[in-house]
Amino acid sequence: MAMHIPADLRIGTHDPLRLPPESWRRLYGLACARCGGTESLRPGGHAYTRSADGARLGWAVNVCAACSTQADDRTTNGS
Ligand SMILES: [Zn+2]
């Protein structure tokens, strides 16, 4: 049986994303989708990624207390 050099782990039929582990943590809701923090995570809507064949995948992500779920939320700026 031939030995495989463990250099390419992306040989599965499902390799939609070429993302580093940190990005996976965010997509799985283990870290804030915006800053990567892990404190006081709350539902932050959905993030979308594109698979190798062009399909869109939706992920229910979380954001931390310091990050807003809305991009245009400026209430914390005090202006
Ligand atoms: Zn955050």
- The rounded Å distance from CA 61 to ligand 1 centre is 11
What digits encode the pLDDT tens for the residues 28-73?
999 999 999 999 999 999 888 777 787 888 889 999 999 987 654 4
- The rounded Å distance from CA 66 to ligand 1 centre is 5
Within 10 angstroms of residue 10's Cβ, the number of other Cβ atoms is 9
- The rounded Å distance from CA 7 to ligand 1 centre is 33
How many angstroms separate the CA atoms of 17 and 46, rounded? Answer: 16
Amino acid at 55: A
Domain locations along the chain: 21-63
Burial of 18 (0-12, 13-18, 19+ CB in 10 A): exposed
In sequence order, what DSSP letters do the residues of 26-40 get, joined into one string?
HHTTSSBTTT---SS
Which tokens hold the place of 36? Answer: 């990567």
What pLDDT was estimated at residue 22? 83
